[in-house]
Amino acid sequence: MGRDLLNAPVLGRFLRWRHARTVLQATCLGLAVLIILDGLFGPQLAPRNLAGTLPWVHWRGFVVLALLVVGNLFCMACPFMLPRRLAKRFGPARLPWPAPLRSKWLAVAILLLFFWAYEAFGLWASPWLTAWVAVTYFVLAFVIDGFFKGASFCKHVCAIGQFHFVNAMVSPTEVAVRDPEVCQRCETLDCIRGRYEASGAADPGRGPRPLELDADSGVVRLATADAASGRALGGKGLVQSGCELALFQPQKTGNGDCTFCMECIHACPHDNVGILVRSPLDELTRDPVRSGVGRLSRKPDWAALALLLTFGAFLNAFGMVEPVFRLQEWMAAALGLTSPLLLLALFFGLGLVVLPGLLTGAAAWASRALSRGSDTLVERASTYAWGLVPLGFGMWLAHYLYHLLIGGLTIVPVVQQYLRDLGVPAGGDPRWGAGALVPESWLLPIELVFLQGGLVVSLVASFRIARREEGGKTSALRAFLPWAVLATILSLMGIWLLMQPMEMRGTFQAI
Ligand code: SF4
Ligand code: SF4
């Protein structure tokens, strides 16, 4: 680990400030309220509405840039957290999250549903529906965390959170301990228990600390065990929460499930937690038992999430190019399907479940056969799926930055119109022609750099995974080869997609 963002001159000071996160969240909450109001009551032409532009053009572009340059800044500034905090204060918030749902399978299903609904209902083109998606999010976060302990909504339900947890594995920073030896001497473990008023009975977690890390689930068990699974905010005498995502700093590895909430940073009495700079390859190529997660190579649910987001990056872009319409017409005619919703369900089922299953299964089978392994196909796929994450992230970057770069300035006339509607002078007539941030000829080269950068990182990560698993170079090369072929096929598909004319969603010129 290298430098610590908390020691950076201005940024570090801001991040250490106790109320930094609240300020960021309040700013995002204000924006979310404006988006909802404009979505419900403003013009229903997407490029003229805050709900048709800010979330789909600007927010998506900025969050992938943030993941590339820093880390999971969206969760840090998440607007759904303030209402959720109210829910923790006034709701019971004591129920444990149901055991059958303590995995990523529910999140995989929700993401699948979202990918389908995005195209089926044209969310990007409907400010009204976009506003209702945001309202639904607020209600779900409020209700779920009002009833259940810890950050159940973030960990098990939130689709945006899962997107960030997986793609932040390639980010260059991580919330981590500065000096592991300090943790070994630590008697309080406030980073996970939280800090309590020093009034005896109100602090049940103090004292000697038998501690074990479950090798399968990554759950940390302390002497007073409930603290390890995330104590509800506002518990009696609690003055500073510990990690609500059940990530115990000394055994935490990487950004999986970490919302960058900084509670552990504020809770640690030894100032031993920082936001440390690291190699983007570091997290994907190691496989320790991770606190709150377990071993990634033994987690088919996590691997399914990684694969869904990788293949989803390509299918999401495919949904915006002309050949997709011809393919869908052909499918409808061949199968005699008249319902567009059903047709899209079939299309996404094939593109996000069947095809990834077949391709990954084939790569796992070939990798195992070539290296003469004895593991199961699911184990092999769960081990190597992580090597594909940088490629998927490269595709998300290419796609979302395309929209940001071609439509970034649309925010100017949209805000002008918004202010005019409120009766506030906004510097003359809205300039609806504003749009591109860079010349159009720059777009393809920029997109290709991100996509091919993702491919290179994927290949290096996959080979390192193979070296870790196989030991010998020759055997590692054999195990790696099928995954390299799969990554290369996907990247060629990505190049073809990026070279197609793309719909300019949320951008005025498209009309
Ligand atoms: S991070 Fe801080 S509170 Fe947590 S174990 Fe280490 S020293 Fe203790
Ligand atoms: S408290 Fe947990 S989720 Fe929050 S930054 Fe620390 S490790 Fe991440």
Q: Tell me, using a 6 A CB cutoff, whether residue 258 lines ligand 2.
A: yes
What length does the chain have? 511
As a whole number, mean pLDDT of residues 308-332 equals 90
Look at residue 268 and tell me if it is in a domain.
no
The pLDDT of residue 81: 87
Q: Tell me, using a 6 A CB cutoff, whether residue 245 lines ligand 2.
A: yes
The preferred substitution site among 178, 190, 196, 271 for testing ligand 1, maximizing ligand atoms within 8 Å of CB, is 190
Work out the pLDDT band at 150, boundaries 50, 70, 90: confident
Residue 271 Cα to ligand 1 middle (Å): 8
Q: Tell me, using a 6 A CB cutoff, whether residue 36 lines ligand 1.
A: no
Q: How many domains does the chain have?
A: 1
Report d(CA 45, CA 53) in Å as an integer. 10
Q: Is 439 left (phi over 0), alpha (psi -120 to 50) or beta?
A: beta
pLDDT at 218 over 70: no
Q: Tell me, using a 6 A CB cutoff, whether residue 249 lines ligand 1.
A: yes
Is the sign of the CA dihedral 12, 15, 17, 20 positive or negative?
Answer: positive
Look at residue 130 and tell me if it is in a domain.
yes
Look at residue 210 and tell me if it is in a domain.
no
Q: Whose CA is nearest to atom 2 of ligand 1?
A: 268
Q: Tell me, using a 6 A CB cutoff, whether residue 182 lines ligand 1.
A: yes
Q: Whose CA is nearest to atom 1 of ligand 2?
A: 243
DSSP codes of every residue in 50-97: HHHHIIIIIIHHHHHHHHHHTS-HHHHT-TTHHHHHHHHHHS---BPP
Look at residue 264 and tell me if it is in a domain.
no
Ligand nearest to the CA of 242: 2
What is the number of the ligand 1 atom nearest to the C-alpha of 186? 8
Q: How many CB atoms lie within 10 A of CB 88?
A: 21
Ligand nearest to the CA of 178: 1
The preferred substitution site among 178, 191, 291 for testing ligand 1, maximizing ligand atoms within 8 Å of CB, is 191
The pLDDT of residue 436: 82
pLDDT at 491 over 80: yes
Is the sign of the CA dihedral 197, 177, 295, 457 positive or negative?
Answer: positive
Report d(CA 299, CA 107) in Å as an integer. 14
Residue 178 Cα to ligand 1 middle (Å): 10
- Give residue-wise pLDDT tens across range 72-119: 999 999 998 888 888 888 878 789 999 999 999 999 999 999 999 999
Q: Tell me, using a 6 A CB cutoff, whether residue 262 lines ligand 2.
A: yes
The alpha helices in 186-285, defined as continuous H runs, are: 190-193, 263-267, 282-285
pLDDT at 209 over 60: no
For 352, the token pair is 């996000």
Q: Which has the higher per-residue pLDDT, 93 or 160?
A: 160
Residue 192 Cα to ligand 1 middle (Å): 8
What is the number of the ligand 1 atom nearest to the C-alpha of 177? 1
Q: Whose CA is nearest to atom 3 of ligand 2?
A: 258
- Give residue-wise pLDDT tens across range 363-401: 999 999 999 999 999 999 999 999 999 999 999 999 999
Q: Tell me, using a 6 A CB cutoff, whether residue 250 lines ligand 1.
A: yes
Work out the pLDDT band at 318, boundaries 50, 70, 90: confident
Mean pLDDT of the chain: 88
Q: Tell me, using a 6 A CB cutoff, whether residue 273 lines ligand 1.
A: yes
What is the number of the ligand 2 atom nearest to the C-alpha of 246? 2
pLDDT at 141 over 70: yes
What is the number of the ligand 2 atom nearest to the C-alpha of 242? 1
Work out the pLDDT band at 324, boundaries 50, 70, 90: confident
115 near 163, Cβ under 8 Å?
no
pLDDT at 203 over 50: no
Look at residue 188 and tell me if it is in a domain.
no
Look at residue 218 and tell me if it is in a domain.
no
Residue 403 Cα to ligand 1 middle (Å): 42
Q: Tell me, using a 6 A CB cutoff, whether residue 183 lines ligand 1.
A: yes
Work out the pLDDT band at 506, boundaries 50, 70, 90: low
Residue 251 Cα to ligand 1 middle (Å): 10
Q: Tell me, using a 6 A CB cutoff, whether residue 272 lines ligand 1.
A: yes
Q: Whose CA is nearest to atom 6 of ligand 1?
A: 183
pLDDT over 70, % of the chain: 90
Q: Tell me, using a 6 A CB cutoff, whether residue 264 lines ligand 2.
A: yes
What is the number of the ligand 1 atom nearest to the C-alpha of 249? 1
Lowest mean pLDDT among 11-25, 412-426, 460-474: 412-426
Ligand nearest to the CA of 179: 1
Look at residue 480 and tell me if it is in a domain.
yes
Q: Whose CA is nearest to atom 6 of ligand 2?
A: 264
Residue 37 Cα to ligand 1 middle (Å): 43
Question: What is the residue range of 69's domain?
Answer: 5-170+293-510
263 near 240, Cβ under 8 Å?
yes
Work out the pLDDT band at 433, boundaries 50, 70, 90: confident
Report d(CA 488, CA 330) in Å as an integer. 27
Q: How distant is the alpha carbon of residue 297 from its chain centre?
A: 19
Ligand nearest to the CA of 155: 2
Report d(CA 345, CA 332) in Å as an integer. 12
Q: Tell me, using a 6 A CB cutoff, whether residue 451 lines ligand 1.
A: no
Look at residue 103 and tell me if it is in a domain.
yes
- Give residue-wise pLDDT tens across range 219-265: 766 654 444 444 434 456 778 889 999 899 999 999 999 999 999 99
Ligand nearest to the CA of 71: 2
